Amino acid sequence: MQQIDHIGIAVKDLKASIPLFEKLLNTPCYKTEEVTGEKVVTAFFATGQTKVELLESTDPTGVIAKFIEKKGEGLHHIAFEVTDIQAEMTRLVKEGFRLLSDTPKAGADNKLVCFLHPKETNGILIEICQSGNKGE
């Protein structure tokens, strides 16, 4: 894994949260994007080499809505950038980690993504992501 790509934060309302994080981080939201496959709308903030991603559910049965219902708003995941997501997925499985999908999915910000089961990562949802391959 190369570096932390972004930190994902689950929020109930992007319209309220974007101005809050713009003030907090002292930087504008540089883009919003809907990821229909994950039932979320995202908002991104650049903070040095790492980004902050806010996630709002677009469906009351979506993963983010369920997360907020169970745990409230807050830290959802940490994403690590990889150069070859398939190779990293194979390596992680060999190391005994359980992946939440067998193949990478198209994610926000032109990424291919895969999540590791938090029961095997000390309760933290870990995302691995590869740039420039959305939809492949």
Separation of first and last alpha carbons in the chain: 21
Q: What number is the average pLDDT over the span 55-72?
A: 96
Q: Domain residues of the chain, as ranges?
A: 3-131
Tally the residues of the chain: 136
Q: What number is the average pLDDT over the span 49-66?
A: 96
Contacts of 8 (CB under 8 A, 6+ apart): 53, 54, 55, 75, 76, 77, 78, 79, 127
What does the block give as tokens for 99? Answer: 């992946």
Q: Which of 98, 10, 81, 7 is nearest to 45 (CA)?
A: 7
> Taking 90 as the threshold, does the pLDDT of residue 135 lie above it?
no
> Taking 80 as the threshold, does the pLDDT of residue 7 lie above it?
yes
The larger pLDDT score, comparing residue 110 to residue 132, is at 110
pLDDT of residue 133: 60
Q: For residue range 32-52, what is the model confidence (pLDDT) as tens digits?
A: 999 998 999 999 999 989 999
Query: What is the spatial distance between Cα 35 and Cα 103, in angstroms, rounded to a whole number?
Result: 17
> Phi and psi at residue 46, in whole multiples of 5°?
-85, 130
Q: What is 3-131's CATH number? A: 3.10.180.10
Residue 2: is it exposed, middle or buried by C-beta count within 10 angstroms (0-12/13-18/19+)?
exposed
Torsion angle (degrees, nearest 10) of CA 59, 39, 28, 77 = 110
